Structure 1
Amino acid sequence: MGTLDDFRNKEFLDQITILNEIAGSKDSANLPALVDLLKNPVGDTSIDYMVVNALNAVLSQNEADTVAGMNDDHAGYRILCIRVAGEYGFKSASPALVSLAEAEADPDRLMEVLTSLARIADPAALPVFRKYLEHEDPFVVALCIEALGKLRDLESVGFLKKIINDSEAPDRYEICDITTWKAVEALASFDTEDTLAFLVEKLHHKNPTVRRIITDAMTAIGSPAIPLLLAAFEEGDTDMKILTANVLGFIGDKACADGLVASFDKGLAKDSNVRYALYEALGRVGSMKGIICLVDGLTEEDELTLMSVVGGLEKHVNPGIVAKLNGLVSAATEQSARLSKAIISCGATGLFDALYENQGAGDALVDALCSSKDPAILDQFRQLLSDIGGSRAETDLAKLPAPEAGTHKALAADDSRSMCAMHKAILTDLGYEAFVAGNGQEAYDFIEQGENFDIVVTDMNMPIMDGMELVGKIRNTPGFEDTPVIMVTTESEASQQNLAEKTGVTAFITKPFKPEELKAKIQELVG
């Protein structure tokens, strides 16, 4: 007597038990009866769903039956067999799937067949994937691109480059479509000098989302991309220098820092935005040459640039750095005040702790701390002074103002730690409770958690979610349709600001900027 005999007349719980047992045993003896139940359903949604699951489990152990079922007259069983062939990588199914793909006209059924072929990853399917690169359905094209990348089909490189080149056309660059996204990922997967060089060349793509995808891809590739990125830094314009420095910092290899220092020594970082990006990258890497360059950067006068230097050194505190800073911070000069403020604004507790032992440096830092209006910063250093202990620390603790929570809330997003610190200092000075995030996704998480903001300040180029995407999501969120959004950017192309305005940006601040400029812009927008 078969397991499924008289199945339709059994109780509901008995039917569930039987189907679960078949799914666990995967006994092929049950295949004919399961196929019959699929083609002639019981009529109960739960049972019919479990029949499909049991059939999937049995077919997973029966490659020949699965391949044969791909040509069955019953559409549901045919699609199930096609899916199972891909899910379990049945190589013998490839020829039949290729034949089905070549003859299929319906986009949905074609997607099913191509998806299974892509999962099997048989090089014999390459002609089919190439054939559909110009299909009218972008999702079919994207699937084929992904498969060609997985199979490292160098014959398709030219076509993939064309997709990316065409995506910068005046009537197309405002949107990053799925085919462009997949073309970038496919070229990155080839990992040849030619494809890497092309992606580096496109690092300043007109669309910010494409820039982010390329940045993420180059960061994941790592070491092989370093020589090409360093060459682009030396040869590129200001925007390219900034973008390549960012990627080199994300890669974090010693060769990245040494190459950037060499470029700095050649005088290729005279622009303040480039120096800022270079210092940020050196801080992430922490090589010996990079730290020396950061120490030399302690003479920078631009507030944001100096914060990037301090932020980088905070991660690599050593006696040489402390000795240099002790002399500079204790000197009672304008630069001493700038450095003290930068150390406090960055929340550089490691540097503060090391410098506090020196009376002159400690007094300068405490004076800067007393000027802060950031409750989080005050609490952070108050705890540090309590941990240091002693009569001097107690006296300094008594000088600190009581933290005052802002009556309004502001959100700032930037992948630079020093820029986030700058925004936080500016916003708290204006009386806001400041929320900061390292990328657009982290920023939008605050909104999804129910926070309301009177103003948003965001960078344009960030990993994970860029500023354009963040602004688009904000504008589509009820209650945020009219919230002022300021975009801070180094982008020199007018097309980028035009695109940002269309996305919903209210106003712009171009780096480098003085804190007073951003304060004035915020007050102009919200009063």
Structure 2
Amino acid sequence: MSPLENFRDKEFLDQITILNEISGSKDSEALPGLVDLLKDPVGDTSIDYMVVNALNAVLSSNEDKVIEGLKDPHEGFNILCIRVAGEYGLKGAVQSLVDLALAEEDLDRLMEILTSLARIGDEAAIPVFRQFLNHQDPFIQSSCIEALGKLGDHQSIEEFKKIIIESEADDRFEVCDITTWKAVDGLARNASEDTISFLVRTLHHKNPTVRRIITDALINVGSFSIPMLLEAFETGDTDTKILAANVLGFLRDKIGADGLVAAFDKGQADDANVRYAVYEALGRIGTMKGIICLVDGLSETDELILMAVIGGLEQHINPGMLSTLTKLISAADEQSFRLAKAVINSRAISIFDHLYENQGAGDILVDALAESRDPEIVEEFRDALAEIGGIRAEQDLDRLPVLTVSTRKALAADDSRSMCAMHRAILTDLGFEPFVAANGEEAYEFIEQGETFEVIITDMNMPIMDGMELVGKIRSTPGLEEVPIIMVTTESEASQQGLASKTGVSAFITKPFKPDDLKAKILEVTS
């Protein structure tokens, strides 16, 4: 006897109990009754919903019935069978789904069928996905791209490349569409020298969101992408070198570090922005050759580059580096004060602790600390001096300023640790309380928490949420339509600044820049 006999005449609670029992047991004898209840609902939303769930459970272990249902004229039951086939990976349903897809004209139903085929993941469906690879509907197209990428269809590789190339067209590059995203993912999933070389060549895509997606894809591919990244570093333009160095830094692989050092020795990092990116990457990786290169970087005079060097060395302290740095700072010349300021602004507490043992170096470091206008930094080093202890440390503590937090607030977003430190120093010098974030998402969290800012500074290229996305979110937030936003970028193309201006950027400053340049820009937009 069917468990659903006289179901419509039963009490509500009894109906729920029966449907729950069927869902748990997956009793195939209940299938005809459930289909009847689906096609002719009882009219109670809760019961009708539970009927669908019970039918889903029973069909999951009745593949033949699912295949039959794919030909059922009742739309609701047909769609349910399509979804069940995909949800439970019923390979026996592939050919029927293929036939349905080839005959389907309704876009919504076609999407359901393709989604189900993609979830099953059978190579027999590859011809169907190829057929709809250039479909006019972007969601159908992206679904096919994703499926072909997962199935490793090498015949689709050139089409994926074409999609990415065409996405840089003048009338398309301003928006990162879902098809471009899936095409990048498809190439990365089929990692070969050809596909990864292509992604590296397009690393400096016109659209910043696509750049971030390609960067993330290369990082996910891992060490396999290193030779192609190093080749691009040697042959690419300045922006490509910067982005390639960034990826190599995030990969944290010794081979990548050795390649960057070799490129440095060949003179391929003469540009200040490229050197900055290389130093940051070497600091993340921390090989012996990389540390030696960072120590050589202590002769740099650019304030931001020095902060990248010090920030990298802070992560990899060793006696040789400390000895060199002690001699340089103890020399009490112009470079000594640059280095001391970089140690303080980079919040290199470990380096400070070691160098303070030498009175000459310690005095110059405390001089730089006494000039800081950042309450948070001064407090951190105050704690370090208190922990060191002794008469000299107590005397130096008395030299430190007592600072109060400003009522004026500014926000800065950059994935570079040293750049964030630079922003802190500049903003505190101008009398702002600085809020810093490593990406756009972290930056926007401050806004969601109710913080208000007189000025916002953002990098263009950042992970998770890039500067363009951040600006768009800020401008769509009530009350923030007019807050000044300065974008810091290395981008050379006029199209990039044009795109950023359309998004809502108030002003630009291009790396490399001096602190006074950014100070002037901040004063200009907040006047």
2-structure distance, mates of 1:56, 1:160: 36
| Aligned counterparts of 2:407 and 2:95: Cα–Cα separation in 1 | 68
Aligned to 2:379: 379
In structure 2, what is the equivalent of residue 133 of structure 1?
133
Percent identity among equivalent residues? 70
Aligned residue number for residue 355 of structure 2: 355
Aligned partner of 1:36 in structure 2 is: 36
- Deviation digits for residues 58-111 of structure 1, max 9, x if unmatched? 111111111211111211111111101001100001000000000001110000
| d(CA) in 2 for partners of 1:401, 1:229 | 47
Partner of 1:90: 90
CA apart distance, 1:189: 0.8
Equivalent residue, structure 1, for 2:188: 188
- 1:448-492 residue CA offsets vs partner (Å, 9 max, x unmatched): 222211111000111111111111111111111111110001111
- Using structure 2 for the length normalisation, give the TM-score: 0.98
Please tell me whether residue 71 in structure 1 is matched to residue 79 in structure 2: no
What is the distance in 1 between the residues matched to 2:8 and 2:360?
89
Q: Do the aligned partners of residues 11 and 370 (structure 1) sit closer, same or farther apart at CA in structure 2, a change above 3 Å counting?
A: farther
Give 1:207-246 correspondences, 5 Å limit: 207-246=207-246
Shift of 1:6: 2.5
Counterparts of 1:32 and 1:378 in 2: how far apart (Å)? Answer: 76
Q: Is 1:276 aligned to residue 276 of structure 2?
A: yes
SS at the partner of 2:434? strand
Matches within 5 A, 1:491-510: 491-510=491-510
- Return the alpha-carbon distance in structure 2 between the equivalents of residues 494 and 127 of structure 1: 42
Query: Contact 1:242–1:277 at 8 Å: present in 2 too?
Result: yes
Q: Aligned AA for 1:437?
A: A
Kindly report which structure 2 residues correspond to 1:251-330, keeping only aligned pairs within 5 A, or say none.
251-330=251-330
Q: Distance in 2 between matches of 1:11 and 1:450?
A: 52
CA distance in 2, matches of 1:174, 1:71: 44
Q: Deviations over 1:19-56 (max 9, x none)?
A: 22222222222211111111111212122111111111
What is the deviation of 1:2? 3.2
SS in 2 for 1:73: coil
Q: Secondary structure in 2 aligned to 1:488? A: strand
CA distance in 1, matches of 2:414, 2:9: 64
Task: Note if 1:395 corresponds to 2:395.
Answer: yes
Deviates more, 1:20-29 or 1:204-213: 20-29
**1:94·1:125 contact (CA, 8 Å) conserved in 2?**
yes
Q: CA deviation at 1:153?
A: 0.6
Q: Which residue of 2 aligns with 1:442?
A: 442
> Would the aligned equivalents of 1:373 and 1:404 in 2 still touch at CA under 8 Å?
no
In 2, the alpha carbon distance for the partners of 1:233 and 1:107 equals: 44
Structure 2 distance, partners of 1:53, 1:446, is 42
Instruction: Name the residue aligned to 2:422.
Output: 422
Matches of 2:363 and 2:317, distance apart in 1: 20
Report what 2:166 is aligned to.
Answer: 166
Within 2, Cα distance between the matches of 1:13 and 1:391?
A: 80
CA distance in 1, matches of 2:35, 2:384: 70
The aligned counterpart of 2:203 is: 203
Runs of 4+ with deviation above 6 angstroms: none
Distance apart, 1:129 and its partner CA: 0.5
Q: Distance in 2 between matches of 1:11 and 1:486?
A: 66
**Distance in 2 between residues matched to 1:265 and 1:213, nearest whole Å:** 31
Equivalent pair of 1:410/1:433 in contact (CA under 8 Å): yes
Letter in 1 for 2:23: A
C-alpha distance after superposition, 1:190-236 (max 9, x if no partner): 10111111111101111111111111101111111101110110111
CA distance in 2, matches of 1:408, 1:91: 63
Q: For the residues of structure 2 that align with 1:359 and 1:12, how far apart are their CA atoms?
A: 85
Distance 2:54 2:244 in 1: 52
Three-state SS of the structure 2 residue aligned to 1:134 is coil
2:124 is aligned to 124
| Residue aligned with 2:372, SS | coil
How many angstroms apart in 2 are the aligned matches of 1:15 and 1:454?
Answer: 61
Instruction: Tell me the distance in 1 between the aligned counterparts of 2:195 and 2:323.
Output: 47
Letter in 2 for 1:51: V
Hey, what does 1:406 align to over in structure 2?
406
Structure 1's unaligned 5+ residue stretches are none
Query: What displacement does 1:262 show?
Result: 0.2
One-letter identity of the residue aligned with 2:319: P
Secondary structure of 1:133 counterpart? coil
| Range that drifts further, 270-279 or 355-364 | 355-364
- Shifted more, 515-524 versus 386-395: the winner is 386-395
Q: Provide the residue aligned with 1:23 in structure 2.
A: 23
Separation in 2, partners of 1:511, 1:210: 21
Q: Give the aligned residue type for 1:189.
A: R
Question: Can you list the C-alpha shifts for 1:97-131, whole angstroms capped at 9, x where unaligned?
Answer: 00000000111000000000001111111111011
Q: Which amino acid aligns with 1:200?
A: V
- After superposition, the CA RMSD in angstroms is 1.1
Q: Which amino acid aligns with 2:338?
A: R
Shift of 1:258: 0.3
- Give the residue type in structure 2 aligned to 1:180: T
Is 1:56 matched with 2:56?
yes
Moved more, 107-116 or 152-161: 152-161
Find the aligned partners of 1:403 and 1:27 in 2 and give their Cα distance.
74
The structural deviation recorded for 1:379 is 1.9
Q: Which amino acid aligns with 1:161?
A: K
Structure 2 residue 179 is matched with structure 1 residue 179 = yes
Find the aligned partners of 2:392 and 2:25 in 1 and give their Cα distance: 75
Cα distance in structure 1, aligned partners of 2:251 and 2:186: 20
**How far has the Cα of 1:390 moved from its partner?**
2.3
1:509 alignment partner AA: I
CA deviation profile, 1:337-377 (whole Å, cap 9, x unmatched): 11111111111111111111111111111111111111221
Q: Is the 8 A contact 1:294 1:313 kept in 2?
A: yes
Find the residue that maps to 2:133 and give its secondary structure: helix
Does structure 1 residue 525 correspond to structure 2 residue 525? yes
Range 500-509 or range 26-35, more displaced: 26-35
TM-score, normalised to structure 1, is 0.98
Assess, with a 3 A threshold, how the Cα gap between structure 1 residues 77 and 366 changes in structure 2: closer, same or farther.
same
Higher mean alpha-carbon deviation, 278-287 vs 362-371, is at 362-371
Is 1:481 equivalent to 2:473 in the alignment? no
Equivalent position SS for 1:436 = strand
Aligned residues: 527
Deviations 1:399-448 (A, max 9, x none): 22223112111111111000011011111111111111111111112112
SS of the residue corresponding to residue 410 of structure 2 reads strand
